[in-house]
Amino acid sequence: MKDIRIFLQDELIAEFEKMGEPKFRAKQIYEWLWKKSARSFDEMTNLSKDLRKNLQEKFVIAPVVEHVVQKSKDGTVKLGIQLQDGRMIEGVMIPDRERSTACVSSQVGCSLSCSFCATGFLKRERNLTAGEIYDQVVMLNKHALAHSGKQLTNIVYMGMGEPLLNYENVMRSIRLITSPDGLNMAQKRITVSTAGIAKAIIRLSDEGMKFNLALSLHAATDEKRDRIMDINLANNLETVFEALNYFYEKTGNKITFEYILFDHFNDTPEDADALIQLYNKVPAFINIIEYNNVEGVTLKRAKAERRDEFVRYLGKRGVEVKVRRSRGKDIDAACGQLANKSEAGEIK
Ligand code: SF4
């Protein structure tokens, strides 16, 4: 049976027309599914019993299940989420003074195998559906409300997987999250983070949408980037930066460069100079990210003094730069640490 949540509103209306049901019924059901997050047809109390039975015979609602909840000392919450087929993913809620950010996964595992990333060690099993991405946001929103009494303010597609390799479902999920029939969040509150797939960046620039784009840069020359991110072999910096400029032209949104500082790998003044050269190629901000050492990875977190020196060096040269402190380290919820350990029983 088909998952009813794969349909956009217009598609659902067309399905209902085929069933001889009026358009407004499809709209009612759409509202139950997305606005009210109904998890069974029985909850849809303004539908007749016959229609509910009919729907049950034709469709399923395939919800995800909150399987493990881990809370960090700093308030960060990591969820181990079980999908209908039993596979697991992780989503994270990061509270900060005025903000609560949801970091969502877009794939089960990841095919890109960046050398520093725990998710890259898991093989990519499948793409998430738009509904599964949406459900993570709904769940993480509940935790944001429980923590601070306030809704999520931001969503970043920076969890497990490369969002642009699950292009259709990621775009569909953004449309649902920002739709008045869904969560009605502003597009500017959403950031999609990519390892750098030039063709897909060009495609999304033409979507007429206004969300933000982040590039997981982590090294500022092809020579170094090739060593830690295989994706750079097929999408070198020149190609990616052409695509980023196109994105900026189309959206007017500055690009965020995510740059994890690794000890004695990319933290010297020469590295900072190479980074400044890239910074001057497209309107951008730089986020310097603290790495959390991952077992089996030779790259290590840069020392605090080297990090501070690196940031000062950039700042003095007029670069807009911020250090993103690591959050949720004690529960392996920080950047690059999502690896379904809770599923493996390593964390309870
Ligand atoms: S950093 Fe992102 S793209 Fe690279 S392996 Fe990890 S999840 Fe995949």
- Helix (H) or strand (E) segment spanning residue 20: none
* Residue 51 falls inside a structural domain: yes
For ligand 1, is residue 120 a contact (CB within 6 Å)? yes
Residues 42, 133: one domain? Answer: no
Domains held by the chain: number: 2
Please report the pLDDT score of residue 335 as a whole number. 63
For ligand 1, is residue 163 a contact (CB within 6 Å)? no
Residues 10, 49: one domain? Answer: yes
Please report the pLDDT score of residue 345 as a whole number. 33
Q: Kindly give the distance from the C-alpha atom of residue 161 to the centroid of ligand 1, in angstroms, as a whole number.
A: 6
Residues 121, 12: one domain? Answer: no
List, for residues 43-58, the tens digit of each pLDDT value.
999 999 999 999 999 9
Please report the pLDDT score of residue 325 as a whole number. 80
Q: Which residues pair with 190 in a beta bridge?
A: 155
- Helix (H) or strand (E) segment spanning residue 3: strand 2-3
Residue 129: CATH number of its domain: 3.20.20.70
Please state, in angstroms and rounded to a whole number, the distance separating the CA atoms of residues 22 and 30. Answer: 13
Please, are residues 145 and 95 in contact by the beta-carbon 8 Å criterion? no
Residues 157, 53: one domain? Answer: no
Domain that holds residue 17: 2-60
Residues 96, 240: one domain? Answer: yes
For ligand 1, is residue 114 a contact (CB within 6 Å)? yes
- Mean pLDDT score of the chain: 91
* Residue 341 falls inside a structural domain: no
For a mutational test of ligand 1's pocket, the pick from 90, 92, 119, i.e. the residue with the most ligand atoms closer than 8 A to its C-beta, is: 119
List, for residues 269-316, the tens digit of each pLDDT value.
999 999 999 999 999 999 999 998 888 899 999 999 999 999 999 999
List, for residues 190-232, the tens digit of each pLDDT value.
999 999 999 999 999 999 999 999 999 999 999 999 999 999 9
* Residue 111 falls inside a structural domain: yes
- pLDDT surpassing 70 at residue 336: no
CB-based contacts of 298: which residues, under 8 Å, 6+ apart?
none
CB-based contacts of 225: which residues, under 8 Å, 6+ apart?
217, 218, 219, 232, 237
Residue 46: CATH number of its domain: 1.10.150.530
Q: Kindly give the distance from the C-alpha atom of residue 231 to the centroid of ligand 1, in angstroms, as a whole number.
A: 10
User: 79 falls in which pLDDT band (50, 70, 90)?
Assistant: very high
CA 86-138-212 angle, to 5 degrees, is 105
- The CA-atom distances, in angstroms, between 254 and each of 130, 149, 168, 205 are 26, 31, 23, 13
Q: Higher confidence at residue 271 or residue 339?
A: 271
Q: CA nearest 76: which of 329, 342, 335, 294? A: 329
The end-to-end CA distance of the chain, in Å, is 35
Helix axes 304-316, 269-279, angle to 10 degrees: 40
Structure tokens at 8: 């956009």
- Ligand 1: residue whose CA is nearest its atom 3: 162
User: 334 falls in which pLDDT band (50, 70, 90)?
Assistant: low
For ligand 1, is residue 195 a contact (CB within 6 Å)? yes
For ligand 1, is residue 162 a contact (CB within 6 Å)? yes
Q: CA nearest 305: which of 261, 343, 240? A: 261
Residues 100, 237: one domain? Answer: yes
- Can you tell me whether residue 83 is helix, strand or coil? coil
User: 348 falls in which pLDDT band (50, 70, 90)?
Assistant: very low
Q: Kindly give the distance from the C-alpha atom of residue 302 to the centroid of ligand 1, in angstroms, as a whole number.
A: 20
Please state, in angstroms and rounded to a whole number, the distance separating the CA atoms of residues 279 and 315. Answer: 12
Picking from 44, 60, 76, the residue at the C-terminal end of a domain is: 60
Please report the pLDDT score of residue 80 as a whole number. 95
Please, are residues 262 and 300 in contact by the beta-carbon 8 Å criterion? yes
Q: Kindly give the distance from the C-alpha atom of residue 155 to the centroid of ligand 1, in angstroms, as a whole number.
A: 17
- Ligand 1: residue whose CA is nearest its atom 5: 120
Q: Catalytic residue positions?
A: 90, 335
For a mutational test of ligand 1's pocket, the pick from 90, 113, 114, i.e. the residue with the most ligand atoms closer than 8 A to its C-beta, is: 114
Residues 42, 101: one domain? Answer: no
Q: CA nearest 159: which of 88, 219, 210, 228? A: 88
Residues 50, 173: one domain? Answer: no
* Residue 93 falls inside a structural domain: yes
For ligand 1, is residue 156 a contact (CB within 6 Å)? no
Q: Higher confidence at residue 29 or residue 328?
A: 29
* Residue 346 falls inside a structural domain: no
Q: Kindly give the distance from the C-alpha atom of residue 58 to the centroid of ligand 1, in angstroms, as a whole number.
A: 37
Residues 44, 79: one domain? Answer: no
Residues 23, 159: one domain? Answer: no
CB-based contacts of 52: which residues, under 8 Å, 6+ apart?
41, 42, 44
Place of tokens 């709904």: 138
Please state, in angstroms and rounded to a whole number, the distance separating the CA atoms of residues 54 and 52. Answer: 5
Residues 126, 37: one domain? Answer: no
Residues 92, 47: one domain? Answer: no
Please state, in angstroms and rounded to a whole number, the distance separating the CA atoms of residues 77 and 96. Answer: 12
* Residue 101 falls inside a structural domain: yes
- Ligand 1: residue whose CA is nearest its atom 7: 161
List, for residues 240-258, the tens digit of each pLDDT value.
999 999 999 999 999 999 9
- Helix (H) or strand (E) segment spanning residue 12: helix 9-18
Q: Kindly give the distance from the C-alpha atom of residue 229 to the centroid of ligand 1, in angstroms, as a whole number.
A: 9
For a mutational test of ligand 1's pocket, the pick from 89, 110, 297, i.e. the residue with the most ligand atoms closer than 8 A to its C-beta, is: 110
User: What is the pLDDT averaged over residues 62-85?
Assistant: 91
For a mutational test of ligand 1's pocket, the pick from 125, 197, 216, i.e. the residue with the most ligand atoms closer than 8 A to its C-beta, is: 216
User: 143 falls in which pLDDT band (50, 70, 90)?
Assistant: very high
Taking the CA of residue 193 as reference, the ligand 1 atom at the shortest distance is: 2
